[in-house]
Amino acid sequence: MRTYLVTGGAGFIGSNYIHYMFKKYDNEIRIINVDALTYAGNLENLRDVEKRDNYTFIRADICDKEAIGKIFAENDIDRVVHFAAESHVDRSIREPEVFVKTNVLGTAVMLNCAKAAWEKPNGSFQEGKKFLHVSTDEVYGSLENEGEYFYETTPYAPHSPYSASKASSDMLVRAYMDTYKFPANITNCSNNYGPFQFPEKLIPLIINNALQGKKLPVYGDGKNVRDWLYVEDHAKAIDMVQEQGRLFETYNIGGHNEKQNIEIINIIIETLQEMLADDDPRKALVNKDLITYVEDRKGHDRRYAIAPDKIKAEIGWEPETMFKEGIRRTIAWFFEHEEWMKNVTSGSYQEYYNKMYNV
């Protein structure tokens, strides 16, 4: 039975990846989920799998080399899927040191522990071992012109402390691949959305606020463009890269769903109005008058757009979920999990939200 070590598996993308893997492989694999359970890590995301015999949760910080080393020593790890990261740009602007520690030092610890566990006396590595580092399109910076796209060869030009820390972690992985021939891949993905997403991110924030008749904050003029990828499509891509990707290669994972932020908000409002029953009192609350423009984010990149040509040509992956279908599935999930949303939007999160958006 192949054993996967998933870091950050209680977070948004990590938990969706774990669900996808059990749905695909069932009892053919074992998953060890390592998560520090910071504000965005939520074990409620994994209630459906927590009692499986082939699933183990370990609370540990990826910066703790003793804890991570112990996991490798006590388990024959075949695959590492490294999601764990601080990922919210606004938080990185306020607390950049936290992002450098988790994203750079944490990645170095993971690489060193995997290398120590997998390396043979002659400096080569055990057959079948593989490390996948999950990164972001934000490392490439911002695109100024229509028709331009991020490719795997695009020079890095990060603009926020978050993207700079992710670029640094990417460079560490590249260094290990180049120096040691360490068996790894890097994936750089566009913005994800879907179930279990923490509601400081745009899509769940807008869904939650709209249903409560609260203001819908929009940075600047709302015309910043992002490429949106449904999270299950991303999970499938990661699995395919693990199994079919060439060692030492980087693969861009994009959704072919470029939209301005204001477009996203308008689509969510229109979709909520379509999906809410006429006798649901929330329907009267959802309207475009809630849109509130706020001061733009510092260093706000104007446009991201990924060209996933390489992953399609080499591996055969392409996004399956177009945005209007994905947003309906996402909203339906939030309707069915209102208690989950209530639990994650209480207390300290609410204080942070008020401070961040001044609304």
Cα–Cα nearest to 167, from 181, 150, 182, 145: 150
Let me know if 162 is a catalytic residue.
yes
Residue pair 142/301 in contact by the 8 Å Cβ criterion: yes
Neighbours of 244 (CB within 10 A): 12
Rounded to 5 degrees, what are φ and ψ at 103? -80, -35
CA 315 to chain centre: 21
Catalytic member of 162, 193, 219, 304 = 162
Q: Partners of 317 in the beta sheet?
A: none
**Closest to 103 (Cα-Cα) out of 167, 60, 14:** 167
DSSP 8-class letter at 147:
T
346 DSSP assignment:
S
User: Is residue 169 a contact partner of residue 7, using CB atoms and an 8 Å limit?
Assistant: no
Of these residues, 137, 170, 227, 233, which one is catalytic? 137
10 Å Cβ neighbour count for 243? Answer: 10
Question: Rounded CA gap, 79 and 114, in Å?
Answer: 9
Out of 61, 86, 138, 227, the active site residue is 138
Between CA 201 and CA 136 the distance in angstroms is 15
Catalytic residue list? 137-138, 162
